Structure 1
Amino acid sequence: MPFDAPQTTMIRWNGLSAKAWEKQLARASLAPCQQAYAFGEVIAAHGGEVVRAELVNEGETAGLCQIAVRKFPGFRLATAMMGPVWLREDLAEDTRAALIDELGRTLPIKGLHAFLLMPQGEGSGTEEKLRLRRVVSPYHTVLLELTQDEEALLAGADGKWRNRLRAAEKAGLTINLLGRRAEQYKWLLEAERRQQKRLGYRALSPLMVPAWQEKAGKDSVIGFEAKLGAERVAGMLLFRHGATATYHIGWASKSGREANAMNLLLWQSIRQLKKKGVTTLDLGGVDTDHAPGVARFKLGTGGRLISQSGTWLLRPRLR
């Protein structure tokens, strides 16, 4: 039985242009790159299907939800990647629940399908109110507010993190800006591919980077490399989307790790992002069980640890 929705709620499907979508998304306190219009365009360009929804309350767009659809024989799986994104933090719980329920009921997909949600925030009564079932445990990330000046950012970092940064500044590293052309960072994508294979973890395909840049623009990728003499010893790439940036790839050789190159690369990235007007840096997933070193590196910046409530299933429907 559908949730008892307020009559002021409705869903508008596929009605916004790229420009209008990004303008609305800029209202969000945190806009994940998976909800950027360009991210959906990359999926569509590689044969996927994408639908986009405006979640409307009292005539105002209160949320956005970009949904990727994967096709299987006789079945489709729709996933709201890190969504929906709420544009009004004061939205009542009943209204959020009503909008999510209507999102599932009006999803423009025919036949047998399942719909997965990955809402932001640590969870509240919305999922329970709708009797959703959690199928994947919560995701954790670190947010660093870049509206602070550099002195405040350094003061907020862990002492050991600052010490490693100072050591890197004295290690003889040469730092070069990357990003405006795919040829500049092709080597880093290959290093990331090898790293994923060696360590056995799954992440967005390195091929996503040039495809993202093609759709989102040259300034949507920012990165740096570190060299010791002529040798590349570390590299870092971030996605820029509106006033938010997301840490995407980081790699360092043994020499780079010994020189604390990643601390210096991240610090240079932070300074560059501030110049570009970025106000929030999403440092990406934190897993203290399987990648404790990476977790310590991200948490050491002094950023705020936040948890997403998990991935929730709206039960399969046949329409």
Structure 2
Amino acid sequence: MSARLVPVSDAEYTRLASGTPLPVEQTPVWDRFDDVVPGREPWGRLAFYDGTELAALLSLTRVRLPGGLQYLWAKNGPVWVRQATARREHELRSRLAAALRRVDPRVVYVRLHAWHDADDVRPIMQGITYDRTVVVGLDRSEDDIFAAMKQQGRRAIRKALKDDSMVVREETGLPAEAFGELYDVLLETGGRGGYGLHPAERYHQMLSTLGPEHARMFVVRRDGRPLAWVLVTLNDGHAVYSVGASNDEARGSYAMDLLHWRIIQTLHAEGALAYDLAGAGSERYPGLNTLTQFKTKFDKTVIDAPPLRDAPVRPWAYQALLTAQRTRRGARAGLSGLKERAARTEPEA
């Protein structure tokens, strides 16, 4: 049977998705956020048919690169209505790449999730991805959710609940100027983990553009001071831990354990079905193993997830971008080494 990739309107996309839970990034709602982020814009939506059957839905964002080049990003997509076999994944990508080569010479690659290794996909050029995650099922009683946690998790939550100085509140509607103190906590987290961050307004824009139906902010404070916070995205009854931060004080007080437990309680009370903690370590991504230790406190089961991949549309241009990136990284590493050597030879103050 032949496969087809068909552009669809927002209304048709929404109709086709009826009965299939979509992550918010794969809905027209996400366009609101893309519209305000510099260098990004909504690209469009596609339906993939395997023969006569709808097999997958795909919503794409255009991301501009230096020199006028671009890539398309399907964050948390495609969404598979039928089983994502290796053949179906390859058929979708090959048809998308062929169409882009015909209509848009600026697009160098497509970034999307894929369950199967294949010759036409590469590890992502930059960023963090994962192929395992922890999902807390919320379609059961709160007592059952708590009982299913690891003993270590239950113990941490009980200890945190005894600390009256820590209070968790939802602060979804906080104004932009109030986000500064939360961003300071994120800066501390980024410095500790050694990863880059977006400007503060990017995170607040996610809250304000998606609205409280799709993006929520939860904060744990001690005597008014923020210790930790989590931004959660939601759609179709499924919630995802999108961004989080904690300071050193939080790490020694079980603040994050308390924060996630209060999020779970809130989502459960509102009728949500699942809370995805978004990433765990694996053989392929061992750098995330410390996250596994924390996240499996809330559910012992680690499940498979499709990692992000780059699917080159114009392989020669993709290779040129990859080579340029490696050169920049090498230069930065060399500069960092020179600075360290200089610091070791400088006299003490």
Question: Given the two structures, how large is their TM-score scaled by the length of structure 1?
Answer: 0.80
> Residue 130 of structure 2 is aligned with which of 133, 139, 143?
139
Letter in 1 for 2:63: R
Residues 177 and 229 of structure 1: CA distance in aligned 2, closer, same or farther (over 3 Å): same
Aligned to 1:165: 157
**In the alignment, is residue 221 of structure 1 matched against residue 218 of structure 2?**
no
Q: CA RMSD in A?
A: 3.1
Kept in 1, the 8 Å contact 2:185–2:247? The answer is no
Q: Is 2:42 the partner of 1:50?
A: yes
Once the two structures are TM-superposed, the CA of residue 77 in structure 1 deviates from its matched residue by 2.1
SS of the residue corresponding to residue 35 of structure 2 reads helix
Q: Map of 1:1-319 to 2, 5 A cutoff?
A: 6-7=1-2, 9-17=3-11, 21-22=13-14, 24-25=16-17, 27-28=19-20, 31-46=22-37, 47-51=39-43, 52-58=45-51, 61-71=54-64, 72-73=66-67, 75-89=69-83, 94-107=87-100, 109-121=103-115, 123=116, 128=118, 131-136=119-124, 139-140=130-131, 141-172=133-164, 173-182=166-175, 185-202=179-196, 206-287=200-281, 289-290=286-287, 292-302=289-299, 303-316=301-314
Are the aligned partners of 1:76 and 1:113 in contact in 2 as well (CA < 8 Å)? yes
- How far residue 119 of structure 1 moved from its aligned partner, in angstroms, is 2.3
Q: Which moved more, 1:272-281 or 1:176-185?
A: 176-185
Bigger share in helix: 2
Q: How does the TM-score come out when normalised to structure 2?
A: 0.74
| 1:148 partner SS | coil
SS of the counterpart of 2:49? strand
Quick one: distance in 1 between partners of 2:108 and 2:188?
Answer: 34
| Cα offset, 1:274, TM superposition | 1.7
Give, in whole Å, the separation in 2 of the partners of 1:23 and 1:181: 34
| Gap runs ≥5 in structure 2 | 317-349
Between Structure 1 and Structure 2, which shows a larger proportion of strand residues? 1
- Which structure: larger Rg? 2
Q: Unpaired runs of 5+ in structure 1?
A: 1-5
Structure 1 residue 13: Cα displacement: 1.9
Conservation of the 8 A alpha-carbon contact between 2:13 and 2:47? no
Q: How many residues get paired?
A: 302
Give percent identity, aligned residues only.
Answer: 18
Tell whether the 8 Å contact from 2:179 to 2:204 is kept in structure 1 after alignment: no
- Closer, same or farther in 2 for the Cα pair 1:111/1:211, shift >3 Å? same
